[in-house]
Amino acid sequence: MAWRIGIDIGGTFTDVAMVEETGGRIGIAKVLTTPHDFGQAVIEGIRQGLHRHGIDPGNVSLLSHATTVVTNALLERKGARAGFIATRGFRDLLELRRSSRIDLYDLFQDAPSVLVPRRWRFEITERIDAQGEVVTRLGEEEVAGIAAAIRSAGLETVAVSLMFSFLNDAHERRLGALLREALPGVSVFLSCDVLPEIREFERASTTAVCAYVGPLLAGYLDRLQRATASLGLPDLHVMGSSGGVIDIAEALRMPAAVVESGPAAGVIAAALAGRQLGVADVISFDMGGTTAKASVIAGGEIAVTAEYEVGGSGNANRWQNGTGHPIRVPVIDLAEVSAGGGSIAWIDPGGSLRVGPHSAGADPGPAGYGAGGTLPTVTDADLVLGYLDRQSLLGGALVVDIAAAERAIDQAIARPLGLTVPEAAARIAEIVNANMAEALRIVSIERGHDARAFSLIAFGGAGPVHAVALAEELQIPEVIVPPVPGAFSALGLVATDLKRDYVRTLYADLGTVDPARVAGVLGAMEASGTAMLDAARVPPERRALPRQADLRYRRQAYELTVPLADGEITRSSLDAAMAAFHGKHELTYGHANRNEPVQLVNLRLTAIGRLPALMLARRGDASEARERRRDVWFAGSGFRSTPVYWRPGLTAGAIITGPVIIEAVDSTTVVPPGWTGRVDDMGFIRLTRS
């Protein structure tokens, strides 16, 4: 009996999900996150899960992890002492950035601080032109001085990004070889390895991010790998930002590729659930302890973008440019807002109630957790309103201090605004729902989709509590609550495939480019992807190498990505890509100009090693059925006595008519008046308007 284990670290809880490969049986363990050492909670969660479900470590076939180490290092500015080497005259490239601004009218806003201070940024004589021809030879005699300065500064890592190295990497590779020889123990990241793609600033920024977080990620994964190996578990894999797992060696070659591994796992799980239920159009909604994330899966396809910034205020609002450090790697396209169970409610100087962006996290946590928190959070509001059990959570493992939750809301919100505690709690819930509804609008309506044609898959510890309110706001007809929603992102870690993305710039007119030239570049990328799959020992029948192209109209500055057909590259296949671009441009921007020449900018290839498909199921057992009642607040009716069901006791075919509360160890589902739920054969709860 083979099992797969996924570990997802959240702002409040660390989730461990175990899935039995043949029957889809699911087990979970949920422990408080340990911010001082994330690995501590990971190991404790794994130990609990193995013991509770009687799993032999030797029967684990996949161990997959979603890490927040990269994102946290960038947000908290706790990365390595990094250097940066550029072509002479381009030392300040990282500081000059681009002109994008989050607020066009704020003349005093500052760009994010540069990851590499100017004193650690160096120049070297060399120049390659825009055709890839050498104009000035590499000044190899300067390397010794640069290496001495790096050694003297005690730098741990260095990024190298030379002009036009994506067209000709000879200088960059030679410089890298000389640096590695002169600086043993110092990590060297070359832009031609990290991102051989047009756009100088984005290429330099991505390489600098890799250098800045690389040593920290390496240390963390090494410690975790040794700890899991001591339990007899297999080699650790890491979830990539584009929705596939990679081994540790690949993650360390490209640290920027694991920036958003946690949110990516949730979307992967939502896509799997959609396929399993036969629902092609779904919106993934994940509300955890610190943030809420939303993504659209249209026609069964997950949307991926390379326009992403990390490390600034844009990490929470990343559909806006100019707020963080750009990384040009494929990332699942999702909107994220600082709205989680631990988000703190506060009153601004103008007397308005706000929720977030600051969070109580796992330490001290919400006031109601009784661990020293004194500030009111969304979780405290949900406790006061009766959505959550006022006695305990996690099946009794976490005792709740309801008096502390009421006191925090009373002192910080209710009294200053002249409200009762329940009224203040209801206002907190309304505001956080409005914030999260904005994220849903961004990934649906602003992407050209009609939210009313989608189902909402809600998960995360707090997602099913607030999901129906969001569905009402956007007129979404159905809410789907999957099995174990509180650990659903961890399930995504074991429901995906091995995956590595490659990109190469090929700048040409798509209508006239020689197909053989395109085929040659793709052939080199396929060789790299095949080597990765060989190293992972993926058999040929489970491999796939899908290809894409970044295209734009001649007078545009940004591209749209469209698929390239499998098989031989011909004029016909390139014309098909052009037609797909016109269609996507019309869907995205509302218009297309089929008479305008189309330019090819980048070629992309994804190496996929497919894992056997999983079927997620967690069926109820009538012997565990239990029902009680408590007072719960609902809009328009205030508090009313409401039945509370224990989810593990709900069997297939059960009909739930709101108002109802459905509780489980990992999450609570709120079914308000006017909504009805049905439990299907696999344990999914499907909620619709009555």
pLDDT 10s digits, 642-684:
999 999 999 999 999 989 999 998 889 999 999 999 999 989 9
CATH number of 261-339+432-487: 3.30.420
Residue 662, pLDDT score: 96
At 42-89, the pLDDT tens digits run: 899 999 989 988 899 988 988 998 877 787 778 777 889 999 999 999
Does residue 314 surpass a pLDDT of 50? no
Comparing 541 with 496, the larger pLDDT belongs to 541
CATH number of 498-589+600-609: 3.30.1490
pLDDT band for position 537 (50/70/90)?
A: confident
The domain defined by 74-217 carries CATH number 3.40.720:
no
Please measure the distance between the N-terminal and C-terminal CA atoms of the chain and give it in whole angstroms: 42
pTM: 0.81
Mean pLDDT across 630-648? 93
237: left (phi over 0), alpha (psi -120 to 50) or beta: beta
Range among 92-106, 369-383, 485-499 with highest mean pLDDT value: 369-383
491: left (phi over 0), alpha (psi -120 to 50) or beta: alpha
Could you tell me the two tokens for 363?
């330490």
Boundaries of every domain in the chain: 74-217, 261-339+432-487, 348-427, 498-589+600-609, 622-689
Could you tell me the two tokens for 242?
């584009």
63 closest CA partner among 5, 3, 1: 5
383 closest CA partner among 668, 177, 8: 668
Report how far Cα 85 is from the mean position of its chain's Cα atoms. 30
Q: What is the mean pLDDT of the chain?
A: 89
